[in-house]
Structure 1
Amino acid sequence: MNLAFSDEQNELRRTVRDFLDKNSPETEVRRLMETSEGYDPDVWHQLAAELGIAGLALPEEYGGAGCGFVELGIVLEEAGRALLCAPLLSTVVLAASTLLELGDAGACADYLPGIADGTTLATLALTESTGRWDDPHAITCAASPSPSAGSGSGSGGWTVSGRKSFVPDGQTAALLLVVARTDAGLSVFAVAADAPGVRREPRATLDQTRRQADLTFTAAPARLIGTDGAAWPALERVLDLAAIAVATEQVGAASRVLDMAVDYAKTRVQFGRPIGAFQAIKHKLADLHLAVESARSAAYHGLWAAAESPLELPAAASLAKACCGDAFVTAATENIQVHGGIGFTWEHPAHLYLKRAHSSRQLFGNAAQHRQRLAQVLLAELPA
């Protein structure tokens, strides 16, 4: 296992950071938080079409760059650092990975080129009222054959009915990959967001930088993706990739708030000295540095497993999500404490990171759930 980045990967990081420093400053994040879309289409077009970020990890045959999850992880880390408001996680990680993992060549040829060039926004609609990502038994949304639904990429002889909750970017995605139950088991269906029988409701969230929606389907025309009833093993891998993606975002954001705290401790003077000179602040920041760097190692190990070691992916994903989620929440909380009174104000960016920390810790399973899963995975590997 090699966790060192190549010169090309370091250059990718520099390019993405420069772009986000220019196009996703705090003022722009706050502006987008108040818009109905929650992102800037022009910035997304530049990221996808000009920088090639949307297709970075997609195969060249579908218009991608043919890179791997490590390169995508670099982008995600920088996006977390900048609190980027964009459909990066929903479209590039969830939707694109679902299409690839299901192995439906026709669906990949139809949908992935649009994702790669940024013209298609997509998401995965999996969770329902329980909010659980890891429980296939909680899925009640149903699909049934309907020959009268017609044929083609928009309606492939099926209809979907039911309700999905907590769908990332569900209010703006044009392509909805809906997990529904058929007589054969769990399957994934492509549903056009503007199809008849689809209703979308934006969901009020703590973290306004990442939008969610509730979706209602009433006999909506749908296209089966992959094999009927055989979707869950592929979805489990997609969720592992998504957990690693969020963990990498969390590391980028945690590193940013640590930098904010250190910079403030150097400049804020109290009793004639910078507050960073006081032992209590030194110890606090040293502990934060250790937590963030430990989380970074877990996230990078997860990226390596996603790219190179499928057998280690479940354990690596749960380790990364648990470690990075806790580190980000701790860093965001202590950042406010270091800043004192100003850290509690709306005008200061500290609360933006704190909200992202708490919301992302719940996304794709919280730390306790992933620690329990990690223990189960490791116990299963022990000799009898």
Structure 2
Amino acid sequence: MSVTEHLLYTEDESELRSGVRNLLTERVPLAGLLARIETNEPYDPKLWRVLTEQIGAAGLAIDDAHGGSGASWRETAVVMEELGRAVAPTPFLGSAVLATAALRTVRAGALLADLAGGRRSATLALSFASVPGVLVPYPVRADGDVLTGTVTSVVDAGTADVLVVPADTADGPVLYAVDAGQHAVDRRPVVSLDLTRPLTDLVLTGAIGTVLARGEQAEAAVATALATGAALLASEQLGVAEYCLESTVAYMKTRHQFGRPVGSFQGPKHRLAALWVSIAQARAVARHAAACVAADDPDTAVAVALAQAHCSEIAVRAAEECVQLHGGIGFTWEHHPHLYLKRAKADALAFGTPDRHRAILARLVDLPA
């Protein structure tokens, strides 16, 4: 069966969704989330422990020989959807997606086991704006096992125990595992647009790394991680858009104007109906991208570019409609719409902007300039 023949959610995926959604509903109330982003601890360590130790979400894409569940990126994408719906403050993208994808490629069994069991978290030490399929010099230089350089705007690096660092050497690219707690690793928080997902600048001044892979294998690990991250980010964007639509519909059923629910007026109904159609399309695109990376499909690059070109803009539009159709309350700090708008805008810049992916897509399918 090809990846396009079965994109519906399986029974196992639906059960996983239900469990994660129930957990997030209980553990990530919007009022509590608003309070948390005003502290110095934006991530919720208790939520992360439950996700990893009880639900096993961090090990979904890791085989059972290394403590994972032996599922696939499709199941991981379902978790990403739910995390997007809740704008949940967890390092799931960096650890369970980016770092895991890279470590799977190089078969780093011990590290994978630690990530699957929640004993450690990790992330890929590249800028969050890195574009899949676009080769650029790595910002870190290595001499033997000593790493030096600055990597800006790294996702989930502030809480990571391990950094998966690609570096240039005299003999070509090398992928390292770096203990994030050593003194030669300086983590500098960045003022991020999305306060529920902080970014960090990494400054390595002679940090010691352990070699994971060299040459083509190292490059393949980085390429796989970025492609997987971009594909599964589309599922998060889908979750953001779905919640924005649902919460707006619910609000417009209760908000009255001129003696009638606001949702009964023709203008808002048409806007929401058009948004529903766009989200249905985004779901198909995101599911296809997740299925392609899960199956290592030859069309993965096309699916990823299409997913980011499409889902980024749909998530932003859904969040903008959420803010506007909530009326005056939608513009306040105390209400939730701004959290979703910031997540949607930040995600649209991650792994390349939509126009960048449209250009990549045109090249991949041989469209004339």
Which amino acid in 1 is paired with 2:41?
E
Shift in Å, 1:230 = 4.2
CA distance in 2, matches of 1:183, 1:79: 41
Aligned match of 1:246 in 224, 233, 250?
233
Residue 182 of structure 2 corresponds to 195
Residue 219 of structure 1 corresponds to 206
Aligned match of 2:104 in 100, 103, 107?
100
Residue 322 of structure 2 corresponds to 335
Equivalent residues in 2 for 1:256-271, closer than 5 Å: 256-271=243-258
Q: Which consecutive unaligned segments of at least 5 residues does structure 2 have?
A: none
CA distance in 2, matches of 1:43, 1:9: 20
**What is the Cα-based RMSD across aligned positions, in Å?**
1.6
1:84 aligns with 2:88: yes
Greater relative contact order (Cα < 8 A, sep 6+): 2
Residue 7 of structure 1 corresponds to 11
Which amino acid in 2 is paired with 1:239?
L
Residue 72 of structure 1 corresponds to 76
Deviations 1:179-221 (A, max 9, x none): 1111222221111112231111011101000011001011111
CA distance in 2, matches of 1:71, 1:231: 26
CA contact (8 A) 2:166 2:222 kept: no
Q: Which consecutive unaligned segments of at least 5 residues does structure 1 have?
A: 146-157
CA contact (8 A) 2:173 2:214 kept: no
CA distance in 2, matches of 1:338, 1:217: 46
Which amino acid in 1 is paired with 2:73?
F
CA distance in 1, matches of 2:218, 2:180: 21
CA distance in 2, matches of 1:19, 1:127: 30
Residue 138 of structure 2 corresponds to 139
TM score, norm. by length of structure 2: 0.95
1:114 match: secondary structure: helix
Residue 279 of structure 1 corresponds to 266
Deviations 1:89-141 (A, max 9, x none): 0000011111111x2x4xx222111101111011111239xx54454334232
Aligned match of 1:290 in 253, 277, 293?
277
CA contact (8 A) 1:127 1:139 kept: no
Equivalent residues in 2 for 1:110-259, closer than 5 Å: 110-127=110-127, 131-134=129-132, 135-145=134-144, 158-228=145-215, 230-259=217-246
1:123 match: secondary structure: strand
Deviations 1:260-318 (A, max 9, x none): 11112211111121111111111111111111111111001111111224211111111
CA distance in 2, matches of 1:230, 1:136: 14
Aligned match of 2:52 in 48, 54, 57?
48
Residue 294 of structure 2 corresponds to 307
2:209 match: secondary structure: strand
CA distance in 2, matches of 1:275, 1:132: 42
Which amino acid in 1 is paired with 2:142?
A
1:333 match: secondary structure: helix
Identity of aligned residues (%): 37
2:327 match: secondary structure: helix
Across the two proteins, how many residue pairs are aligned to each other?
Answer: 363
